[in-house]
Amino acid sequence: MTGPMRVGVLISGRGSNLQALIDASKSRDYPATIGCVVSNVAGVEGLRRAERAGIATHVVPHTAYGSREAFDDAVGQILSSSDTALVCLAGFMRVLSDPFVQKWHGRLVNIHPSLLPAFKGLNVHRRVIESGARISGCSVHFVVPELDSGPIIAQAAVPVWPDDTPDALASRTLAAEHRLYPLALRLLAEGRVILDREQVRFRDVEQAGGELFSPPL
């Protein structure tokens, strides 16, 4: 019998999505376990969350490396030595180099606080409000070299209210992220979602469909 899939989580800060994955992985029937957490920033809350959960933590300061590739190599070595099968980016604020992305192709996912392909990049919530959109949300997607552009695995919608502020929309979206990421990781760890020639293929996801792709508003 094989055990739960070993996941490495890359963070840069608060780590609330990391916490959602940690909490989910505590359930006995959850098919993934967090094997290690790597942060490019020392002293962040996400590292403390991991330590409290008894998860191995590593700080790899990007400023200590002469190139993006050298930093990515250092991160990759930690992931490999922890027998990582899948990498989750959770508020990781570094762009990963092409060789790293290629090496982890189909095994590297990210969560982004918009309904991709709309609103890639930073300052998402301010731009959503300024656009006049009435619905926003979050997306879990496979990572490809182009930022926030990989094949989409799962999304959740949240309303944008008439008097919304970026902070209010961010916290409403974050609550949806905390539901979506564990659900998406479950599908990945159970092999019910795979990346096949740049296409996301699903198997046996009908039952999850209602909740996963559109949690109640």
Mind telling me the catalytic residues?
112
Where in 108-127 is the site for ligand GRF (CB under 6 A)? 111-113
Structure tokens at 109: 């996912």
CB of 184 to ligand GRF, least distance (A): 12
- The Cα–Cα gap between 35 and 83 comes to 8
Structure tokens at 166: 């970026």
CB of 77 to ligand GRF, least distance (A): 23
Q: Is 182 in the site for ligand GRF (CB under 6 A)?
A: no
Asked if residues 45 and 18 have their Cβ atoms less than 8 Å apart, the reply is no
Q: Is 148 in the site for ligand GRF (CB under 6 A)?
A: no
Give start and end residues of each alpha helix (H) in the chain. Answer: 16-25, 45-52, 68-81, 98-103, 124-131, 166-189, 206-213
Binding test (CB under 6 A) with ligand GRF, winner from 5, 9, 17, 158: 17
Which secondary structure element, helix H or strand E, spans residue 137, and what is its range?
strand 135-142
Nearer to ligand GRF, 14 or 105 (CB): 14
C-alpha distance from residue 2 to each of 24, 31, 40, 88, 110 (Å): 19, 10, 31, 21, 25
Q: Is 212 in the site for ligand GRF (CB under 6 A)?
A: no
Which residue is it, tokens 């920033």?
A: 41
Nearer to ligand GRF, 32 or 90 (CB): 90
Binding test (CB under 6 A) with ligand GRF, winner from 87, 104, 136, 177: 177
CB of 45 to ligand GRF, least distance (A): 8
Interface positions with ligand GRF (CB under 6 A): 13-17, 46, 90-91, 111-113, 174, 177
